[in-house]
Amino acid sequence: MDPFRVELSMMAKVLFVLSIIATFGTATIVLWWLVWYRYPRVLDREGVTTRGGARYRWADVEEVLTIRRRSSRGLRISFAGGGRILVVPNMIASPEAVLAYIDGSGIRSSSWR
């Protein structure tokens, strides 16, 4: 599988702008931290690279949890050594492609959908 670059959705970008306006920048720090350290930037055959540059291998996956919040659901993938990434479909520009790529890596069951 070729490397797949994960882009943030327009909704995520609008959320950043609104949080700057509504909270005078304080909530933006929390959102930035979540996106920078927990959201994937590149998925490839060996693993995932976060937006902060941390690299995790698919072979080191310890747990894959389905997260359900109101009308959306996503994945929290935990790796050996304490690393975690979040895959939240409404924050990613092409969620179906990202989830299909993760399915192709063989780390989670197809029963998630």
pLDDT in tens, 66-97: 777 666 677 888 888 888 888 887 778 887 78
Instruction: Kindly state the tokens that stand for 77.
Output: 């993938």
| Model confidence at 109: pLDDT above 60 | no
- For residue 47, give the 3-state DSSP assignment: strand
53 Ramachandran zone, left/alpha/beta (phi>0; psi -120 to 50): left
The string of pLDDT tens digits covering residues 40-57 is: 889 888 888 988 889 999
Q: Assess if residue 31 is contained within a domain.
A: yes
Q: Assess if residue 47 is contained within a domain.
A: yes
pTM of the model: 0.71
Q: Assess if residue 111 is contained within a domain.
A: no
Q: Assess if residue 112 is contained within a domain.
A: no
Q: Assess if residue 72 is contained within a domain.
A: yes
Residues 88 and 72: beta-carbon distance below 8 Å: yes
DSSP class per residue in 63-94: EEEEEEETTEEEEEEEETTS-EEEE-GGGBSS
100: CATH: 2.30.29
Q: What's the structural domain count of the chain?
A: 1
- For residue 50, give the 3-state DSSP assignment: strand
Tell me which residue range forms the domain holding 26.
4-106
Q: Assess if residue 64 is contained within a domain.
A: yes
Q: Assess if residue 65 is contained within a domain.
A: yes
Q: Assess if residue 113 is contained within a domain.
A: no
The angle that helices 26-38 and 10-23 make with each other, rounded to 10 degrees, is 150
